Structure 1
Amino acid sequence: MQLFEFEGLRPSVHPEAFVAPTATLIGDVRVEKGASIWYGAVLRADECTIIVRENANVQDNSVVHAAPEVVVEIGEGATIGHNCTLHGASVARHGLVGNGSTVLDGASIGAGSMVAAGSTVSPGTQIPDGVLAAGSPAVVKKEIAGTSAAFWVEANPVHYPQLAARHRQTIKPASP
């Protein structure tokens, strides 16, 4: 893991969190117990604060950043999928941002809600609790239920801490 202090602010990572060796955390980043930051992710809190709550996960190659003095909170058990951009926005408990999505300044994703893969959530958009939002710009499509709720929103907060614990215990460099 690559941790960098910036102007006296340094990342804080709970001993039971997982930060992949190729992830980069800069400045005022706080990673709570059971949370995971995956390979190639960059969390740059040089002018903001980024809080990754318990059992949340920021997946491979995602970027989290914000404007000065903004607090970006990734709620308990929330998921930021692969290759996402979260800029000055927050995701509530068990919220999920699908792969390749962008969530922009002042937007918020409600508890148990899902942003479909490849969507763009416009600045200031408030996605309510328990819905599926999709598109560019993302709009609410329906209440989330069935397979989407069970597989993605409910399973990720259980699966990712377990997978992260396995990586934390067994990851090591391999020779070619």
Structure 2
Amino acid sequence: MPCYEIDGIRPVVDPSAYVHPSAVLIGDVIVGPRCYIGPCASLRGDFGRLVLEEGANLQDTCVMHGFPGTDTVVGVDGHIGHGAVLHGCRIGRNAMVGMNAVVMDGAEIGEAAIVAAMAFVKAQQQIPPRSLAVGSPARVLRTLSEQEIAWKSEGTATYHALAVRSLASMREVEPLTQADAARRAATMPVGEVEPLYKLKQAATPGGEG
């Protein structure tokens, strides 16, 4: 992976974490046990410290950065969706930030809360635990159901497994020129995780969400 020291400060990556070779780590970055860092993620610890606690994941093209003197933290089992931006904020234990969402300086996302895709959490905004925040600027829509929190935890478990799978088997190769007729499909060893809307449809009489 591209990994850079600055001012004598070097990133730290736990041996049980997986960081994709295209992700970039600079300076004061600490990646804890069992974390997953996806392709093209950028973690710039050149102003403030960036911390991913145990079991957190930071997916493809995410950005973490902060102002001088600040820590940007993703708590235990925090789940950061594709393309999200975290700047000088704190993401609580088992919380989720959806795809292409932005969380700004001094904001705090409470434990087991979910920030919806494309949401904008403004500076110093507090999102309470176990709540759903949506929109731009973000507003708290409602309290999450037990089903939604369980769905989030199941999704995060797939990234715990992906870190293990990636450490064991991911390697750079040349592509094949055509697909074999007996080509095996990609599967997850921890079971299939349904999109949330499908779970809600299945739980609602008549199949409506």
What TM bracket, shorter-length normalisation? over 0.9
Q: Distance in 1 between matches of 2:81 and 2:147?
A: 17
Partner deviation per Cα, 1:31-67 (whole Å, 9 max, x = no partner):
0110111101000010100010000000000000000
Greater strand proportion? 1
**Secondary structure at the counterpart of residue 133 of structure 1:** strand
The count of aligned residue pairs is: 175
Determine if contact 1:98/1:114 at 8 Å carries over to the other structure: yes
Q: Distance in 1 between matches of 2:62 and 2:115?
A: 15
Q: Distance in 1 between matches of 2:60 and 2:147?
A: 24
Query: Structure 1 stretches of 5 or more lacking a match?
Result: none
Corresponding residue number in structure 2 for 1:95: 95
Q: Does 1:158 align with 2:157?
A: yes
Which structure's CA Rg is the greater one?
A: 2
Percent identity (aligned):
38
Corresponding residue number in structure 2 for 1:28: 28
For residue 146 of structure 1, report the CA deviation from its aligned partner: 4.5
Corresponding residue number in structure 2 for 1:77: 77
Determine if contact 2:36/2:162 at 8 Å carries over to the other structure: no
Greater relative contact order (CA < 8 Å, ≥ 6 in sequence) = 1
Determine if contact 1:131/1:143 at 8 Å carries over to the other structure: yes
For residue 150 of structure 1, report the CA deviation from its aligned partner: 1.9
Task: Give the superposed CA RMSD.
Answer: 0.9
Q: Distance in 2 between matches of 1:110 and 1:138?
A: 14
Partner deviation per Cα, 1:46-99 (whole Å, 9 max, x = no partner):
010001000000000000000001011100000111001101111010010000
Q: Distance in 1 between matches of 2:23 and 2:46?
A: 16
**Secondary structure at the counterpart of residue 27 of structure 2:** strand
Corresponding residue number in structure 2 for 1:171: 170
For residue 156 of structure 1, report the CA deviation from its aligned partner: 3.0
Q: TM-score, normalised by structure 2?
A: 0.82
